[in-house]
Amino acid sequence: MKVSIIIPSGSTEQNAHVRINCLWRCMNSLHNNPGIPFEIILIDNAQTENHHQAIQKIFRTYPSVTHLIVNRVNEMMGGAFKQGCEIADGKFFVFMADDCLLSPGWLSALLLPLERFPDSLYVGALEVGPNVRSKLEGKIYVDDISYTIRTRAGCYVWALRAEHYNHVIPWQRKHFADTRMANRLRGKGFSFIFPTKKGYLAYSNLNYLRPWEYQRDKANSVMDFKKEHMGRSWEGDKVRLLQAPEEPKERYPLRNKRKKK
């Protein structure tokens, strides 16, 4: 396996319909002549039944989705990417937000410098991205394609060699919010390289209908959501069941039955 793409998908009651739309657009576009085959590890951080069902339908639609991880509590982007990396088998890990739109050839363009310069500390990107401060480090040509090298990129599509994963962990749930990933990688000595010519990446509805005030609530951790969930799930030491559990009648259902002679 050469490439593992890890995509978390989350929503709230307020924006689930938008996130479902974004996710389908993302999944359809990244399969449109990417240039290289891949596996997808899809992490379900959704909080609504409609979004859960959409993710299940995508799993049944695209055989490239080799793994589906379902979280009852939203692990945020950092936690979800960490989950995906633990079971990814690719030589390259590609981290992607669920509302990116990709153009044909995007994956080949993303990975070409990492393949050509295996000893470099490069993180692949598709553009510098919005709301990120970076400095130009240089430009190079790879197979007549011009690439720009900068100190940071925040475009929400990054490629990292699997062998470098252990050099940049431990990741926290919050590390992939906005430019936190770029800052952490930069601190480890990595540079971001991306095609100089734009056109491989667009955004469908980035952060559309964000259900919170970012500047006010950005310090909140997933533990707040987990505590709230656990408070709804237990009454004293008794769990609040979502439905009646099955009561198996057979005592040892997994024991092999002996063949009659």
pLDDT by residue (tens digit) across 128-148? 887 778 899 999 999 999 999
- Tens of pLDDT, residue by residue over 186-244, are 889 999 999 999 899 987 765 555 555 555 555 566 677 788 888 888 988 888 988 88
Query: What per-residue confidence (pLDDT) applies to 206?
Result: 59
CATH number of the domain at 54, please.
3.90.550.10
What pLDDT is recorded for position 119?
Answer: 93
Answer yes or no: is pLDDT of 127 > 70. yes
Question: Is the distance from CB of 92 to CB of 3 less than 8 angstroms?
Answer: yes
Tally of domains within the chain? 1
37 in any annotated domain:
yes
Question: Which tokens belong to 19?
Answer: 């996130």
Task: Supply the pLDDT for residue 255.
Answer: 66
Residue 175 CA, chain-centre distance (Å), reads 12
Sign of CA dihedral 144, 149, 155, 160: positive
Q: Is residue 48 part of a domain?
A: yes
Does 50 fall in a domain? Answer: yes
Residue 7 domain boundaries: 3-102+154-182
Residue 215 has a pLDDT of 53
